[in-house]
Amino acid sequence: MTFLQFMFYFFSAVLVFAATMVITIRNPVKAALFLVLAFFSAAGLWVLLEAEFLAITLVLVYVGAVMVLFLFVVMMLDVNLVRLREGFGEYLPIGGTVAVLMVLEMSIILGSRHFGLNRFPVPPGHSAGFSNTRELGLQLYTVYVYPFEIAALILLVAIIAAIALTMRKRPRTKHQDPGQQVRVRHEDRVRIVKMIAEKKG
């Protein structure tokens, strides 16, 4: 077993373990933290595939931003796990059927017939100076520029829609106008009154 294979099995084992813990552990905060570990192991696997840009972006976006917000929400929720587990037996047949169907469908598509070595041979090795990031950028912004821009537009629409759906205008909240605050001069706030001293001597 080479060092690379050892690393592959190590990351895979951690990934499978973490993914299992995400759905079995009782505490939602710990589940979110195990999901972070799962992302991290997946990033390690991608580095082994020489996809360092994708790996680092996975850590940057999912671990660094998305999961922080997830944790943020999960930490504030007081999730009652006993009630969540009440309907387990009731939903088991439907859930089990869906799971079996999904595994079946995936095994039809994701076989070595479609993704095997004869379809996708091992790409030739690149020299050390080869930059995946540069190649990815060139492909994205030349060949796939329209799909890329359309995807960006759809995401923008989603962002605006999310804000529009959740924003409520509350007339009674008080706002500060920083521009106005900066423009304030002491003449507006302080009035100096000259008066003669009341007590003499």
Residue numbers at the binding site for other proteins (CB under 8 A)? 3, 29-30, 33, 36, 52-53, 56-57, 59-60, 63-65, 68-69, 71-72, 75-76, 129, 131, 133, 178
- Is the Cβ–Cβ distance between 16 and 28 less than 8 Å? no
Tell me the closest approach of the beta carbon of residue 62 to other proteins, in angstroms: 10
Identify the DSSP state of 27.
-
Cα–Cα dist 15/188, whole Å: 63
Nearest residue to 40 via CA among 19, 61, 58: 58
The SS3 call for residue 101 is helix
Instruction: State the CB neighbour count (10 A cutoff) for residue 30.
Output: 13
Tell me the closest approach of the beta carbon of residue 83 to other proteins, in angstroms: 22
Whichever of 104 and 182 has its CB closer to other proteins, that residue is 182
Tell me the closest approach of the beta carbon of residue 29 to other proteins, in angstroms: 6
Tell me the closest approach of the beta carbon of residue 8 to other proteins, in angstroms: 17
Whichever of 91 and 130 has its CB closer to other proteins, that residue is 130
